[in-house]
Structure 1
Amino acid sequence: MLDAPLPLSDDPLLDAYSRAVTEAVARVGPAVVHVAVRRGKGGGTGSGVVISPDGLVLTNSHVVAGAEAVEATAPDGRRFAARVLGEDRATDLAVLRAEAHGALAAAELGSSAGLRPGQLAIAIGNPLGFANTVTAGVVSAVGRALPSRSGWPIEDLIQTDAALNPGNSGGALADSAGRVIGIATAVIAGAQGLCFAVAADTARLVLGEVLRFGRVRRAVIGLAAERVDVPPALMRAAGRDGQGQGARIATVTPGGPAEAAGLVAGDVILAIGEAPVTGPDALLRWLGGERVGVPARLVYLRRGEPREATVTPAERAAG
């Protein structure tokens, strides 16, 4: 008896996992470009993600920092110059405009708000010069934070075990539906499976700020703080029942908004603008560009006594 003929393709053999990965790559892969940067006599390379057919590209700030010239190469081999519209070292993101003739394949920038550990995560980039490399894993954790080149913490990072290597920076992290949920940014040297991507919701905020202002504006109130546990009785006295934590001021910047509002080291901030402050990370998230120059009510404790003040955030200097 003759053996049954082999199928003409592997398609019938693909399991659900393989189909999810291959279909996501088919959606996102054509939009992931190789980014080459010239700096004096040197240069560097990375990846980028085209997010609009007219050539808007998201990549990492560290990929294009100090660039004298930027060139992007699409998966179909087309090369085109790109210019930096703006970059934000605090999130390690940059926005480019590709000077391409004709429409480019673009990926859908999804939402990272509902991500859960264990979800499929697919990385597409150009690691070590190998174009359009695909790796897959899971979302290992969400809401991670790492220090940026500016010293300002990058908040709301996605941790994944999808393998990333030098050259993946600026590439796509996609979900099973082929939506970009993050922009690859960092690998912990010497660690296994500790890779990070800037969340899509952060990327969307940076994109909007850069397109509108050419930079990302951030508010500042002029203090350094640390997370501290607050006894329930003090929380209730301040009208913050159930919160449990606050941001204790370590230092106050002379001449800054916090000093003008009467805050001193040792005060514990519980809320600002009606938003709970459970630590310095919550305070940083609240201090977006739209807060600049807008007075806000601040609830805090001084030696266990609830107090209120009005603080007017200033714009943080670029850097």
Structure 2
Amino acid sequence: MGSEQLTRRRLLAAATGVAAGVAGCNTPRSGTSESGNVSNPAATELLNTTPESQSVYTDVYRRTIDSVVLIRVYADSRGRVGEGSGFVYDDRYIVTNEHVVTDTRGAVLEPGSIFDEIRVQFTGGQWRAAEVVGTDAYSDLAVLDVQSVPDSATPLSLIGGEVAIGQPVIAIGNPLGYTGSMTTGAVSGVDRSLPARNNFRIPDAIQTDAPVNPGNSGGPLVTLDGEVAGVINSGGGDNIGFAISAALMKRVVPSLIETGDYEHSFMGVSLTSVTPSIAEAEGLSDADGVYIDDVRPEGPASGVLQGSTGDTTIDGVRVPTGGDVIVSMGGQPVQSQEVLSTYLALVTSPGDTIPVEVIRDGRRTTVQLTLGERPEPYA
């Protein structure tokens, strides 16, 4: 099992809810060119107008902006087809979103294909060609290799601990093509989950009310210490934006640099959080835990965990019955599907064997589950 251990607080917080995001990089604006940036007199938005707050936000912006880049992507048959943001991670490596550098929906290329040409622009106006080192659709992260990074573009540090709800944050990037933009806000939610390929979810995501628009994708969400709290993924509506957590980034990015991909743990089951109706059908005292609706044949959980064997009707609604209810994994309590997903993502790796405590036919029992690897995202 991985050496990282989730805190009980993180696992409990993950049960608070699920929020979906709309992902996509910005399409080119008319009138923009590679020889110059889009003029934006109000690029830096300061939501708190006191001089003291302006000084803090301006200082963070000045310390981090040179490490944030504009990313433009091209298809041989169409020319420039999109743009997004990224930031310097280590030496010549830049982190961004997978959906910025790949055609996730197959609009121009085959789904999941990397765009034919990728170029990045630094704040000094320098353009550089970039090569994709690795991508991971299940976390929406990608790493680019750029030669001759300007000296001023120093790597940004990742936050060492957890962000807190209410903590001030800054979103830096290139929304709608306006380069070098900054918006401010706070962490408005933690342990959210975002949609990923093949009905999987990206766990441990950060919700913010800092304005996020197309083109911000891949840029950093930073704290007032100038540390990266997350990688901006999407904007879901007014005052709702999402970022992939630094904790998940720490797991995925080193593997992308080293091997070009990342292996996610896989149980091979269909899950749902226990509802009051499921709890009633299974004779549970509380609506806690994760119910196994189905077990994939020949998957890691086949012969180890049990899916639904029937159903009943409660208040006119069909409710599955007979499946295992997971109440803990690796000794960590599991109150919901979000908790389980966060545990798998931040603690485990394929090949790990973990104890899984379940309620089966009204009795508690512990089984040993050896995790597999998720299927290819674009297979």
What is the distance in 2 between the residues matched to 1:247 and 1:278?
7
Aligned residue among 242, 248, 269 for 1:202 = 248
Deviation of 1:307 after TM superposition, in Å, equals 1.6
Contact 1:20 1:177 in 2 (8 A): no
What is the distance in 1 between the residues matched to 2:325 and 2:153?
50
Contact 1:75 1:132 in 2 (8 A): yes
Contact 1:28 1:180 in 2 (8 A): no
Aligned counterparts, 1:35-54, within 5 A:
35-42=71-78, 43-52=81-90, 54=91
* Counterpart code for 1:318: E
The 1:162–1:220 alpha-carbon spacing in structure 2 relative to 1, beyond 3 Å, is: same
70-79 or 276-285: bigger deviation: 276-285
TM-score by length of 2: 0.73
Aligned counterparts, 1:129-144, within 5 A:
129-144=177-192
TM-score by length of 1: 0.85
Deviation of 1:199 after TM superposition, in Å, equals 1.4
Deviation of 1:282 after TM superposition, in Å, equals 2.4
Aligned residue among 246, 253, 269 for 2:326 = 269
What does residue 5 of structure 1 align with?
A: none
What is the distance in 2 between the residues matched to 1:316 and 1:154?
13
What is the distance in 2 between the residues matched to 1:270 and 1:314?
20
What is the distance in 1 between the residues matched to 2:200 and 2:181?
31
Deviation of 1:314 after TM superposition, in Å, equals 1.2
What is the distance in 2 between the residues matched to 1:307 and 1:259?
16
Aligned residue among 72, 76, 93 for 1:56 = 93
What is the distance in 2 between the residues matched to 1:102 and 1:16?
31
Give 1 or 2 for the bigger CA radius of gyration: 1
Aligned residue among 215, 222, 225 for 1:167 = 215
What does residue 126 of structure 1 align with?
A: 174
Contact 1:181 1:200 in 2 (8 A): yes
The 1:82–1:149 alpha-carbon spacing in structure 2 relative to 1, beyond 3 Å, is: same
What is the distance in 1 between the residues matched to 2:150 and 2:59?
25
Amino-acid identity (%): 32
Q: How many residues align structurally?
A: 296
CA offsets per residue over residues 125-167 of structure 1, 9 Å max, x none? 1111111011111111111112124432111211112111111
The 1:294–1:162 alpha-carbon spacing in structure 2 relative to 1, beyond 3 Å, is: closer
* Counterpart code for 2:359: L
Deviation of 1:109 after TM superposition, in Å, equals 2.7
CA offsets per residue over residues 189-242 of structure 1, 9 Å max, x none? xx31111111122222211221233211111121011111669xx999xxxxxx
The 1:107–1:220 alpha-carbon spacing in structure 2 relative to 1, beyond 3 Å, is: same
| Secondary structure in 2 matching 1:137 | strand
Unmatched segments (≥5 aa) in structure 2: 1-48, 103-113, 309-322
CA offsets per residue over residues 6-62 of structure 1, 9 Å max, x none? xxxxxxx9722111100100111010000011123232111111122x211110111
Matched, 1:245 2:282: no
Aligned residue among 228, 232, 238 for 1:192 = 238
The 1:100–1:301 alpha-carbon spacing in structure 2 relative to 1, beyond 3 Å, is: same
Deviation of 1:174 after TM superposition, in Å, equals 1.1
CA offsets per residue over residues 256-306 of structure 1, 9 Å max, x none? 121131523211111222222222222223334853223222211112111
| Secondary structure in 2 matching 1:291 | coil
Deviation of 1:81 after TM superposition, in Å, equals 0.9
What is the distance in 2 between the residues matched to 1:158 and 1:120?
12
CA offsets per residue over residues 98-144 of structure 1, 9 Å max, x none? 12266451242322743122221111111111110111111111111
Deviation of 1:73 after TM superposition, in Å, equals 0.5
The 1:273–1:119 alpha-carbon spacing in structure 2 relative to 1, beyond 3 Å, is: closer
Matched, 1:281 2:338: yes
Which one scores higher on RCO, CA 8 angstroms, separation ≥ 6? 2
Contact 2:66 2:123 in 1 (8 A): yes
* Counterpart code for 2:175: P
The 1:129–1:142 alpha-carbon spacing in structure 2 relative to 1, beyond 3 Å, is: same
| Secondary structure in 2 matching 1:285 | helix
Deviation of 1:79 after TM superposition, in Å, equals 1.0
What does residue 219 of structure 1 align with?
A: 265
What is the distance in 1 between the residues matched to 2:165 and 2:339?
21
What does residue 24 of structure 1 align with?
A: 60
Contact 2:295 2:305 in 1 (8 A): no
What's the C-alpha RMSD, in Å, of the aligned pairs?
2.3
Deviation of 1:63 after TM superposition, in Å, equals 0.4
What is the distance in 2 between the residues matched to 1:209 and 1:137?
31
What is the distance in 2 between the residues matched to 1:81 and 1:58?
15
Deviation of 1:313 after TM superposition, in Å, equals 1.1
Deviation of 1:86 after TM superposition, in Å, equals 1.0
Aligned counterparts, 1:90-169, within 5 A:
90-100=138-148, 103=151, 105-111=153-159, 113-169=161-217
